[in-house]
Amino acid sequence: MKLGTLTIEPAVLLAPMAGITDSPFRSLARNLGCPAVFTEMVSCEGIIRDQPGSLRLLFFLPDEHPVIAQIFGSRPEAMADAALHCQALGFDAVDINMGCPVKKVTKNGAGAALMREPENAARIVAAIRRAVTIPVLAKLRSGWSPEEINAVALARRLVDSGLDAVSVHPRTRSQFYSLSADWRIIAQVTAAVDVPVIGNGDVRTVEDAERMRRQTGCAGVMVGRAAQGNPWLPGRMAGLRTTPPGRDEIHRVFCIHLEKMIDWMGSQRRAIMRMRKHAVWYTRGVKGAATLRHGLGNLHTAADMKRAMAALLLDN
Ligand SMILES: Cc1cc2nc3c(=O)[nH]c(=O)nc-3n(C[C@H](O)[C@H](O)[C@H](O)COP(=O)(O)O)c2cc1C
């Protein structure tokens, strides 16, 4: 899949997920064969005001390349400045969030609200296109509501404004994450534009990824929630390994994840808190995982957490 000057092959991408696809998780996924990763969404206003919280989200490790920065906002000039900043930091591409359904974001005209503001969405793409030389992407939903499905028309318009590729998560804003994603809309967008389309939504297995490509003709597949606790999955979808990890490997990778988290957060205590949800995901389906879940609040050091995971994964 060619996105302007960037080639991603095989075209499997880790979706942007706020609070999840931070630098430690992206680095882990890349090292396990995921061909490309997105940052979680970062506020363009935070970036241009040098807010430490936003700038921290833009930190990445050398082994994350190709890494795509996802930004959100509604002011074309601010989005262009933020995109330029991402380019200067060394990101391989910039992605515009047009899918976030959360009110805090949409009430300011950003995220999925841009699906309803095609004029402004096109202005944002054009402003970023003028500002940077790296590829420019946008991630769309199918529309704002079942009565306002407009992914095809908007994608066409954004491509005319200079977009290099478009990702489609075919749920409406009003659906949030409920019901299933309507892959037919991915097929419609694919047929309508002459840039690569990345399909997203409910891809949970290697077979799902294949099926999405076959049914929609999309150039790339993006995987989100199914990669939680399973950073091997995008690499497996890319064909780089065939077998799921065994318990030993799950434990080993969890420990690496935890160490990377401590490095990134600069605090063992905060890293442990953030790793609690990952510990639950890594041990999904393992007998006795409920006991670990209930005891997570009592684990105060990295050594405690590694020991508890070993007891569950290796000694049981
Ligand atoms: C916890 C969480 C955080 C998310 N954060 C973002 C985000 O920052 N930017 C974005 O474009 N989409 C975000 N998404 C949406 C995902 O990228 C993806 O479109 C959605 O989960 C559907 O794909 P899936 O079925 O593979 O999970 C988020 C989803 C979840 C579950």
Q: Alpha-carbon distance 197 to 155, whole Å?
A: 10
Of 181, 209, 237, which one is at a domain's C-terminal end? 237
Instruction: Kindly state whether residues 211 and 298 are assigned to the same domain.
Output: no
Residue nearest to atom 15 of ligand 1 (CA): 17
The domain tally of the chain equals 2
The answer, yes or no, to whether residue 164 has pLDDT greater than 80, is yes
Measured in angstroms, how far is the CA atom of residue 40 from the centroid of ligand 1?
A: 9
Average pLDDT over residues 136-162: 98
Tell me the average pLDDT across 97-105: 98
Indicate whether 24 and 165 sit together in one domain.
yes
Is residue 100 part of the annotated active site? The answer reads: yes
Global pTM reads 0.97
Q: State whether 212 and 275 are in the same domain.
A: no
Domain boundary among 204, 237, 270: 237
Instruction: Reply yes or no on whether the pLDDT at 316 is more than 80.
Output: no
For residue 94, pLDDT beyond 80: yes
- Three-state SS at 180: coil
Residue 28, domain CATH: 3.20.20.70
Percent of the chain at pLDDT exceeding 70: 100
Is the beta carbon of 46 within 6 A of some atom in ligand 1?
no
CB 204 near ligand 1, within 6 Å = no
- Centre of ligand 1 from the C-alpha of residue 176, in Å: 10
Domain span at 187: 2-237
pLDDT value at residue 130: 98
Cα 20 to middle of ligand 1, angstroms:
9
Average confidence score pLDDT of the chain = 97
What's the Cα-to-Cα distance from 291 to each of 56, 95, 251, 283, 297, rounded to whole Å? 34, 40, 17, 11, 11
Q: Is the pLDDT of residue 240 over 90?
A: no
Residues 291 and 160 grouped into a single domain: no
Q: How many Å apart are CA 213 and CA 200, to the nearest integer?
A: 10
From 169, 185, 202, 237, give the residue whose CB has the most ligand 1 atoms within 8 Å, as the site to mutate: 169
Position 125 pLDDT exceeds 80 = yes
Q: pLDDT at position 185, please?
A: 98
